[in-house]
Structure formats: structure tokens, C-alpha cells
């Protein structure tokens, strides 16, 4: 006796669910229609298409966890069209966001929706950053690197570090 389902059983599955178990695709020849075959992307054409703001920020990799994204929205570090939204507010394609993170201020336009976290390339394709925003973040990063060269230690200096500082600073 064979372990394969009979042709009769397959035909009934196709009729009931529209799925051909042997091929794993729908009987109409469809399959996944979401962007580039990734299961986390949503169709932008669907009526009322939108994703929770905290989910979108997490999926777009602005924050490492969804709870961090939600806390940032509640703390006012995220603006949607200049307003302070709630974490449950749906984000739609074309929305303007301002996101404040430790890396700087991102001013972005939403170009894709996802409710699952995917690869970095997919996350970066979900938004388009303004040129001014990118330039300001790069200047901030350069300033932080220069500051780190001037003062390479963190916190309270050790006895040795203090002596090095005093060598370069004039004593009043």
C-alpha cells in the first residue's frame, strides 16, 4: 500500500481549499503574490492596507525590539506627518516619518509595508531617507568620531589618563 494520497483525495483537497498538495500552490496557479516572494511584505493595493507603527519601525530595523519601538513612539521620539502618533496608528505608503534614535534623526518616506522583520536589504527598501537627513546624520557621526579621538576614554579618568591630560592642558 502506497503512502501517497490517492488522486481522489487530491482532487477533493483542490476542490475544498484551492490547494494542490503535490505542488504546494493554489489550483489557480497562483502562489505568493507579496513583494519579491517574501512572506512579511504586505500588498499595498489591498484596501485599508496599513501596519501598526511600532511593528513597521521594528520591521524596518530602526529599533531592535518591538517594545523599544513602542516605547520610542510613546516617548515622542517618532513623528508622523509632524504629529505625535500612538504605537497602534497604521502606517501607509507615502507617510512621512521623523525617527530619533541614538544614530541621529531619520526623516523618511514610507515606500513599503511589512509586519515581520526581514533581511537588512528588505528593511532598507521599506523607506526612502531625505538627503538632508542623511547628511546631518553623517556630520553627527563624523563629529562623534572626532570627539572620541580627543577623549578616548569614557567616564572618570584614571590616574595615568589624568596625568596625560595635565601635560597638554595649561595649569592656571
Q: What is the CATH number of the domain that holds 55?
A: 3.10.290.10
Cα gap 157→67, rounded to integer Å = 35
90-128, pLDDT tens digit by residue? 999 999 999 999 889 999 999 999 989 999 999 999 999
Residues 115 and 138 occupy one common structural domain:
no
d(C-alpha 76, C-alpha 68), whole Å: 12
- Grid cell, residue 12, equals 477533493
pLDDT in tens, 137-158: 999 999 888 877 777 667 888 8
52 lies in a domain?
yes
Tell me the pLDDT tens digit for each residue of 44-73: 555 567 899 999 999 999 999 999 999 999
Q: Tens digits of per-residue pLDDT, 118-143?
A: 999 999 999 999 999 999 999 999 98
pLDDT value at position 107? 96
Q: Based on DSSP, count helices (H) and strands (E) in the chain, helices before strands.
A: 6, 8
Q: Which domain holds residue 113?
A: 40-129
Ramachandran region, residue 76 (left: φ > 0; alpha: ψ -120 to 50; beta: rest): left
The answer to whether residue 16 is domain-embedded is: no
Amino acid at each position: 500500500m502506497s503512502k501517497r494520497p490517492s488522486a481522489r483525495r487530491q482532487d477533493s483537497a483542490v476542490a475544498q481549499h484551492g490547494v494542490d498538495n503535490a505542488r504546494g500552490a493554489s489550483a489557480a496557479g497562483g502562489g505568493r503574490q507579496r513583494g519579491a516572494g517574501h512572506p512579511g511584505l504586505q500588498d499595498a493595493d489591498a484596501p485599508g492596507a496599513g501596519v501598526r507603527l511600532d511593528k513597521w519601525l521594528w520591521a524596518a530595523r530602526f529599533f531592535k525590539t518591538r517594545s523599544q519601538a513602542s516605547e520610542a513612539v510613546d516617548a515622542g521620539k517618532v513623528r508622523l506627518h509632524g504629529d505625535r502618533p500612538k504605537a497602534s496608528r497604521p502606517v501607509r505608503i507615502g507617510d512621512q516619518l521623523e525617527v530619533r534614535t541614538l544614530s541621529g534623526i531619520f526623516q523618511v518616506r514610507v515606500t513599503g509595508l511589512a509586519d515581520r522583520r526581514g533581511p537588512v536589504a528588505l528593511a532598507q527598501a521599506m523607506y526612502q531617507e531625505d538627503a538632508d537627513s542623511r547628511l546631518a546624520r553623517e556630520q553627527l557621526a563624523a563629529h562623534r568620531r572626532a570627539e572620541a579621538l580627543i577623549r578616548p576614554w569614557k567616564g572618570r579618568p584614571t590616574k595615568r589618563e589624568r596625568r596625560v591630560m595635565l601635560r597638554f592642558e595649561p595649569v592656571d
